[in-house]
Structure 1
Amino acid sequence: MGFFLETLFGGLMAGMLYALVALGFVLIFKASGVFNFAQGAMVLFAALAMARFAEWVPAWLGLESKLVANLLGFGLAMVCMVGVAWVIERFVLGKLVNQEGITLLMATLGITYFLDGFGQTVFGSDIYKIDIGMPKDPLFILESTFEGGILLSQEDLIAALIAAALVATLALFFQYTATGRALRAVADDHQAAQSIGIPLSRIWVIVWSVAGFAALVAGMIWGSKLGVQFSLSQVALKALPVVILGGLTSVPGAIIGGLIIGVGEKLSEVYIGPMLGGGIEIWFAYVLALGFLLVRPQGLFGEKIIDRV
């Protein structure tokens, strides 16, 4: 039982990190109705910006505090992500208002390659380190209940709590603020939103900035765990099954989908993997997502679209 709970907790913590990355997909889709293939590139770009600014700025100013360096790096990286949001709206989305969804989809692919190349040009292509002080030592809990206790990673636990707090905050933002309601209105119908005075350009800058903030937090956490390298953009691929499972239009769906994927892949790897020769953790999420596409394409919490002709 102790080993099962250890695996379960590990899956829940991994699932919260998947949900954090998936949140960027949901935010962009809710505001523009397009699937944002650039989210992985945004995670990488934000992590690169934070890692490099945290290294450069203290050297320029003669600072020695690691906390100050990280705060400055985070702040300047967020400024960069807001700048990226403004550029995307000004030069890409603003030119494609009311275009077909496939046009916007291809635009996000172009943004992906631009951010990958621009990030490498500005920040370099080596492997960089983000050290935000998260403890690396393991933590044992419930030692009085289970022999030897249950082993948890303190780093994963703190990362999961940060991700959970951000996801909950953004869910409340969408549900209870005027800006959140405006974002939902824009997602439903661009022309109708404009006709009642909602400024489309401002809304798109806001939502891409918020998605950039989510990407920055995700990049900071994953960069602390894995190092900042160009393979980091592949982390976003794990978020694709999450949004398919939870629904492209649902922030709570991103949370539930992430937890299901995280727990499912950990348990399947441990209990089913040995019978299949291992490696099930790599493809489990995609097979589960495929099954949902066959029986419930809109996901668990997505809106069912009915076209009447």
Structure 2
Amino acid sequence: MGPFLETLIGGLMSGMLYSLIALGFVLIFKASGVFNFAQGAMVLFAALAMARFAEWIPKFTGLDGKVLVNVMAFVGALAVMVVVAWLVERLALSKLVNQEGITLLMATLGIAYLLEGAGQMIFGNDIYKIDIGLPKDPMFLFEQTFEGGILVSKEDLYAALMAAALVAGLSLFFQKTATGRALRAVADDHQAAQSIGIPLSRIWVIVWSVAGFVALVAGMIWGSKLGVQFSLSLVALKALPVVILGGLTSVPGAIVGGLLIGVGEKLSEAYLGSLIGGGIEYWFGYVLVLVVLLVRPQGLFGEKIIDRV
């Protein structure tokens, strides 16, 4: 029972981080109706900005307190992501109002390549470190109940708690605030939302800013765990099955989907990996999504589309 619980807890913590990245996809889709292929590049760009600001601030200001420097670097990186959101709206989205979904999709691909190139040009292409003080040593739980206890990574636990707090806050934002309802209205019908006085440009800037904030937190956590490098943009690929499984328009779906895939990856690798040679956790999510789509194409929590003729 002990090893099972240890694997289960590890899967839940990984799943919460997947949910955090998946939220970025859901936020953009809910506001613009397009799948944002630039989300991975946003995670990378935000992490690069924070890592480099954390290096530059002590050098140019003389400050040496790690907490203060990290806070200033975070605020600076967030300001950069807000500027990115404004530029995306001004230079791309405002020109593509009411265009076909494929047009907006291609626009996000262009934004992804632009952010990756700009990140390399502005911040460099080395491997950078983000040190936000997450403890690296493990801890043992329930030592009195299970022999040897249950091994839990403190770093993963704290990272999962940070992700859970942000996910809960964004869920409340979408469900309880006027801005959240406006975002849903814009996603349903751009023209109808404009006709009742919802400013489309402001809504898109807000949602891309919030998605940038989510990308920054995700980049900060993954950068602390793996280092900030250009392969970090591929982390978003881990969230693709989560988004499709939970439903492209569902914030709760992103949470549940992340937890299901995180737990499924760990349990399948632990109990089935030895039978088929290992590596299950790398493709488990995609196989699970394929099975679900055969039964429920809109995902577990997605809105079922009914066309009337």
Residue 305 of structure 1 pairs with residue 305 of structure 2: yes
- Equivalent positions of 1:1-309 (< 5 A) are 1-309=1-309
Q: Distance in 2 between matches of 1:307 and 1:112?
A: 33
RMSD across aligned C-alpha pairs, in angstroms? 0.5
Q: Distance in 2 between matches of 1:239 and 1:230?
A: 17
1:39-92 superposed Cα distances (whole Å, 9 cap, x missing partner): 000000000000000110111001111111111110000000000000000000
Q: Distance in 1 between matches of 2:212 and 2:35?
A: 15
CA contact (8 A) 1:29 1:249 kept: yes
* Structure 2 counterpart of 1:261, one-letter code: I
The Cα of 1:306 is off from its aligned counterpart by: 1.0
Q: Secondary structure at the match of 1:140?
A: strand
Q: Secondary structure at the match of 1:36?
A: coil
Q: Distance in 2 between matches of 1:298 and 1:139?
A: 40
* Structure 2 counterpart of 1:308, one-letter code: R
* Structure 1 counterpart of 2:259, one-letter code: L
1:155-211 superposed Cα distances (whole Å, 9 cap, x missing partner): 000000000000000000000000000000000000000000000000000000000
Q: Distance in 2 between matches of 1:92 and 1:217?
A: 25
Q: Distance in 1 between matches of 2:139 and 2:308?
A: 56
Query: Unmatched 5+ residue regions in structure 2?
Result: none
TM-score normalised to structure 1 length: 0.99
The Cα of 1:293 is off from its aligned counterpart by: 1.6
Q: Distance in 1 between matches of 2:165 and 2:221?
A: 14
Larger deviation: 289-298 or 272-281?
289-298
Q: Secondary structure at the match of 1:272?
A: helix
The Cα of 1:299 is off from its aligned counterpart by: 0.7
Q: Distance in 1 between matches of 2:82 and 2:191?
A: 25
Q: Distance in 1 between matches of 2:306 and 2:234?
A: 33
The Cα of 1:232 is off from its aligned counterpart by: 0.4
CA contact (8 A) 1:244 1:292 kept: no
The Cα of 1:119 is off from its aligned counterpart by: 0.3
Q: Secondary structure at the match of 2:238?
A: helix
* Structure 2 counterpart of 1:75, one-letter code: V
Q: Distance in 1 between matches of 2:58 and 2:203?
A: 35
The Cα of 1:292 is off from its aligned counterpart by: 1.5
* Structure 2 counterpart of 1:229, one-letter code: Q
Query: Unmatched 5+ residue regions in structure 1?
Result: none
